[in-house]
C-alpha cells in the first residue's frame, strides 16, 4: 500500500508556518478589500482622486448602482471619503489629499480642464484656437476651460491682439510638493487599516510616486499598487 504524502499546504500547517489564525480568517472575511473590484476602484482613486460616480462607472464599465454599492463598503471602513462639489459628488482615498486639493482635482478629473491644462503645460503660450486643435475640443469649450483654470490660478492668460495665450503657473508644482509630504501618512494609515482587518499586509516597495503592498484574505495573497502623486497621474 502506498503512503499518503502531505502536500505543501498541509506541511505548512503541521510545521506551524501558516500565517493565519481562526480570528484572522473571520476578521479578514469582513474586509471590503475581499472583493477584487473594490481593490481596483481603490487603486484607481489613488491615481484619479476626486472621480465621480459616472467617471468610475465608465472606467470599469460597471452599472452605477453597483459602483455605489462598492463605494459604500469602502466608505464604511474608511478606505475612501466623499465630497459634495455642488452638482457632483466625488470620491478619494482617505488621508491622500489636503482639503484645498479637492476642488482642484475634482475639476481636473471630471471636466475638460485636465485635458486643457496638460496641453498648456506641454506647450506654454498656446492660443485658445491652438488649444482647441490639440485637445480636439471646440473653441468655446476651450475658452471656458481656460477661464476656469485661470480662476483656479493654475493658468495665467494674457492678451495677444484678439487672442489670448495661456501659461501654466507654479501652483501645480506647489500643490504636488505639498501632497508628497502626505505620502508617508497615506501609506502608513492604509497599511494600518489592513493590519486592523488582519490582512497581514507586507509593503513590497515604497518610492517617490507610490507604493505596492501585498495582503492576505482567506488564504489568497494579492497585491495593490497606490499612487501618491495624483496631480501627475490625473494629467497623464
Single out the residue in 173, 195, 227 at which a domain terminates: 173
Same-domain status, 136 and 163: yes
- Per-residue pLDDT band for 6 (boundaries 50, 70, 90) equals low
In a domain, 58, yes or no: yes
* DSSP label at residue 95: T
Single out the residue in 173, 194, 213 at which a domain terminates: 173
Distance CA(224)–CA(222), nearest Å, equals 7
What residue numbers bound the domain in which 223 lies? 20-97+182-235
50 three-class SS: coil
Q: What is the number of other CB atoms lying within 10 angstroms of the CB of residue 232? A: 14
Detail the DSSP E strand segments found in the chain.
51-52, 80-84, 89-93, 126-127, 155-160, 163-168, 202-207, 210-217, 220-227
Same-domain status, 115 and 89: no
Same-domain status, 90 and 115: no
Distance CA(46)–CA(26), nearest Å, equals 28
H-state helical runs in 97-197: 101-110, 113-122, 128-135, 139-151, 171-180, 183-196
Range 131-139 contact pairs with CB under 8 angstroms and sequence separation of 24 or more:
131/166, 137/112
Same-domain status, 145 and 196: no
Residue 60: CB partners within 8 Å, gap ≥ 6?
Answer: 37, 40, 41, 44, 67
Same-domain status, 150 and 197: no
Distance CA(39)–CA(225), nearest Å, equals 10
Same-domain status, 109 and 215: no
**CATH code for the domain of 112:** 1.10.10.10
- Per-residue pLDDT band for 11 (boundaries 50, 70, 90) equals low
Distance CA(35)–CA(64), nearest Å, equals 17
Over the stretch 29-80, which tens digit does the pLDDT of each residue have? 899 999 999 999 999 999 999 999 999 999 999 999 999 999 999 999 999 9
**How much is the pLDDT for 13?**
45
- Identify the CA nearest to 194 among candidates 33, 23, 6: 33
Same-domain status, 159 and 198: no
Number of domains the chain contains: 2
Please say if the pLDDT value at position 4 is more than 60: no
In a domain, 199, yes or no: yes
Over the stretch 143-162, which tens digit does the pLDDT of each residue have? 999 999 999 999 999 999 88
Amino acid at each position: 500500500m502506498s503512503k499518503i504524502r502531505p502536500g505543501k499546504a498541509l506541511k505548512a500547517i503541521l510545521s506551524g508556518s501558516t500565517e493565519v489564525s481562526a480570528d484572522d480568517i473571520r476578521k479578514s472575511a469582513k474586509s471590503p478589500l475581499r472583493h477584487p473590484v473594490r481593490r481596483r476602484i481603490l487603486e484607481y482613486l489613488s491615481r484619479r482622486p476626486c472621480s465621480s460616480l459616472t467617471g468610475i462607472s465608465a472606467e470599469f464599465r460597471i452599472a452605477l448602482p453597483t459602483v455605489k454599492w462598492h463605494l459604500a463598503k469602502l466608505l464604511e471602513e474608511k478606505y475612501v471619503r466623499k465630497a459634495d462639489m455642488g452638482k457632483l459628488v466625488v470620491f478619494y482615498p482617505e488621508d491622500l489629499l489636503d482639503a484645498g486639493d479637492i476642488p482642484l482635482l475634482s475639476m481636473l478629473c471630471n471636466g475638460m480642464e485636465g485635458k486643457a491644462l496638460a496641453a498648456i503645460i506641454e506647450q506654454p503660450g498656446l492660443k485658445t484656437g491652438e488649444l482647441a486643435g490639440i485637445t480636439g475640443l471646440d473653441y468655446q469649450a476651450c475658452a471656458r476651460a481656460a477661464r476656469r483654470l485661470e480662476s483656479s490660478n493654475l493658468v495665467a492668460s494674457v492678451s495677444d491682439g484678439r487672442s489670448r495665450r495661456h501659461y501654466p503657473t507654479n501652483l501645480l508644482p506647489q500643490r504636488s510638493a505639498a501632497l508628497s509630504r502626505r505620502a508617508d501618512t497615506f501609506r502608513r494609515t492604509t497599511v494600518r487599516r489592513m493590519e486592523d482587518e488582519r490582512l497581514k499586509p507586507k509593503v513590497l516597495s515604497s518610492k517617490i510616486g507610490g507604493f505596492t503592498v501585498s495582503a492576505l484574505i482567506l488564504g489568497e495573497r494579492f497585491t495593490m499598487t497606490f499612487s501618491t502623486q495624483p496631480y501627475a497621474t490625473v494629467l497623464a
